[in-house]
Structure 1
Amino acid sequence: MNYEYDGTFFGFLSAVFDAWHDGIEKAESIRTEGSLSLFDEPRSVCTDPGKARRILEALRQQCGGRACHFLYYAFMAELPDREDPLLLYLRLAFRYKNKFLHHLSDEPIWTVRQMARKTGNERHKLLGLLRFRELSDGMLYARLAPSCAVVPLMAPHFVSRFPEERWVIHDVRRHMGVLYESHCLSLIEIPQTMQELSLSRDEQGFNQLWQTYYQTISIKERRNDTVRRSFMPEKYWPWLIEDAKHS
């Protein structure tokens, strides 16, 4: 049996729930909608938060909270065919139960741990690299294009840092963002056409000052982009305010 879901984490867990109900060993694959051919005889699964929470709660009770953490972070890595190792990971989790995390020699468990590490590492880097700008209406706005879907994972950190502000973190690669307003956090869709920013007058001044400072202290003859890339991958450079040609 092949299962199709909507690409969300809860959608994937809903498909896992149905696969378990049908007999998990009969599940051939779980894929996002449209990725299976007609010859695969896909069964479409609707996202059901109740089913998803039952899978997560069973995993937490039998294997501990860290097992849930690795599962979620691995899913958010958005690697190709991620569902295969995640499904095997869950099968082994419910087999080994509370000794599950000690079985790193099992390839699916190790693979999922590495996927989760990829997401965690990028989240950690971007927490320090994210640049907010003040828009003309007073809202703080930041944009980035991460490899992993880390924006929802970054949001709690900034809720703690800016609890009284209005802000949005925009993932331009996925055309979505996290909006924090009136002490409420929500995921939003952001149209691809949103390109121009209306910055506040103060923000325009601060941007210019920061860029001038950055250019002043730099030494052209000692610029070494190879070393720079070792500290900060080039894919993050376009989102740095201090680099005038990218901002």
Structure 2
Amino acid sequence: MANYIFDGTMTGLLCCVFRAFKFKEFDVLVTSKQNCQSGLFDENITVESNQEHANRVWSGLKSFNSNVGLRNFYYAFLSEQEEVFQHLFNFCIYCFHSSESIDRNYGHPDVLAISKWAKQVGREKHRMEAFVRFKKSKDALFISLVNPDFNVLPLIQAHFIARYKDQKWLIYDEKRNFGIYYDLKTIHNVHMDVYEVDNKIEVGSSQSFNIELDPEEILYDQLWKDYFKSVNIASRKNLKLHIQYVPKRYWRYMNEKTV
């Protein structure tokens, strides 16, 4: 069996589909370079990314799928799961061999799997939009370090542009070592040494930045904690329900959860 190895990008995955149709190879394993573990008798084929080939495949998918189907495809890809890459490849083969739209045929295992993963990524997107907290640096840059389960930064940037259009901000993904920086006009992808940033200056323990913070940041941090404490009704505390809606892994982003 052929084993297509790609660079882990959407472009690379779509190029695997392009090659499959070019050489009529449809019974194929798809693996990213980062997690390549081929079998003893597999034929390893490295598929190079080609934007033109990827665009042709994506245009074809747009012709056969609804906007919801395309969104689910993209969301599922951002899960970064090896099994999902295979489902996405199989979905493309199934799609181009069909004469009608199949993105809602949940009886098909690949369509169902993509839908399930898309929901998980969508849930993570929603929670990041709800729980991200910023700290203001001395140069008026608002910074937040995050560590989401899935690669949702491309999905949340529109939300934060709309909400904080008049502020410069940076949301940095510690796990994937890249961030999105808004300069009041456009979004930039940035890379930096997160261990130098998340180190010395501590305001609580939710997020720490080795960056000179605005002198009023500590004050605003404490004001928010006092507000949260004042509106909280201790006698009605339901920790089990609270964790259901705000899982503990998100508490590190929230000022009110620090001492």
| TM-score > 0.5, shorter chain as reference | yes
* Residues 34-53 of structure 1: CA deviation (Å, up to 9, x unaligned): 43346434222222222222
Supply the distance in 2 between the matched residues of 1:34 and 1:115 (Cα, whole angstroms). Answer: 20
Please name the residue that 1:21 is paired with: 22
Please name the residue that 1:36 is paired with: 36
* Residues 7-47 of structure 1: CA deviation (Å, up to 9, x unaligned): 12222222222222222314x21111143346434222222
- Unmatched runs of 5 consecutive residues or more in structure 2: 200-208
Rate the CA distance shift 1:181–1:48 in 2: closer, same or farther, 3 A: farther
Residues 3-152 of structure 1 mapped to structure 2, 5 A cutoff: 3-26=4-27, 28-37=28-37, 39=40, 40-152=42-154
Offset at residue 58 of structure 1 (A): 0.9
- SS of the residue 2:213 aligns to: coil
Rate the CA distance shift 1:123–1:62 in 2: closer, same or farther, 3 A: same
- SS of the residue 1:30 aligns to: strand
Please name the residue that 2:161 is paired with: 159
Offset at residue 209 of structure 1 (A): 1.0
How many pairs align? 244
- SS of the residue 2:98 aligns to: helix
Please name the residue that 2:190 is paired with: 188
Whether the aligned pair in 1 keeps the contact of 2:78 and 2:150 (CA below 8 Å) is: yes
Whether the aligned pair in 1 keeps the contact of 2:143 and 2:170 (CA below 8 Å) is: yes
Supply the distance in 2 between the matched residues of 1:160 and 1:217 (Cα, whole angstroms). Answer: 28
* Residues 205-238 of structure 1: CA deviation (Å, up to 9, x unaligned): 1011112232344455654422211111111111
Whether the aligned pair in 2 keeps the contact of 1:144 and 1:236 (CA below 8 Å) is: no
Whether the aligned pair in 2 keeps the contact of 1:142 and 1:169 (CA below 8 Å) is: yes
Please name the residue that 2:204 is paired with: none
- SS of the residue 1:213 aligns to: helix
Supply the distance in 2 between the matched residues of 1:131 and 1:236 (Cα, whole angstroms). Answer: 10
Offset at residue 182 of structure 1 (A): 4.8
* Residues 99-141 of structure 1: CA deviation (Å, up to 9, x unaligned): 3134221111111111111111211222122212211111111
Please name the residue that 1:208 is paired with: 222
Rate the CA distance shift 1:66–1:16 in 2: closer, same or farther, 3 A: same
Supply the distance in 1 between the matched residues of 2:34 and 2:164 (Cα, whole angstroms). Answer: 40
Supply the distance in 2 between the matched residues of 1:11 and 1:188 (Cα, whole angstroms). Answer: 22
Supply the distance in 1 between the matched residues of 2:150 and 2:37 (Cα, whole angstroms). Answer: 26
Deviates more, 1:44-53 or 1:83-92: 44-53
Please name the residue that 2:205 is paired with: none
Whether the aligned pair in 1 keeps the contact of 2:178 and 2:192 (CA below 8 Å) is: yes
Supply the distance in 2 between the matched residues of 1:8 and 1:142 (Cα, whole angstroms). Answer: 25
- SS of the residue 2:180 aligns to: strand
Percentage of identical aligned residues: 23
* Residues 51-98 of structure 1: CA deviation (Å, up to 9, x unaligned): 222111110022233322111101112234221111111112222354
TM-score scaled by structure 1? Answer: 0.89
Deviates more, 1:182-191 or 1:201-210: 182-191
- SS of the residue 2:144 aligns to: strand
Please name the residue that 1:231 is paired with: 245
Please tell me the root mean square deviation across aligned C-alpha atoms, in Å: 2.1
- SS of the residue 1:242 aligns to: helix
Supply the distance in 2 between the matched residues of 1:181 and 1:44 (Cα, whole angstroms). Answer: 38
One-letter code of the match for 1:231? Answer: Y
Please name the residue that 2:206 is paired with: none
Rate the CA distance shift 1:144–1:66 in 2: closer, same or farther, 3 A: same
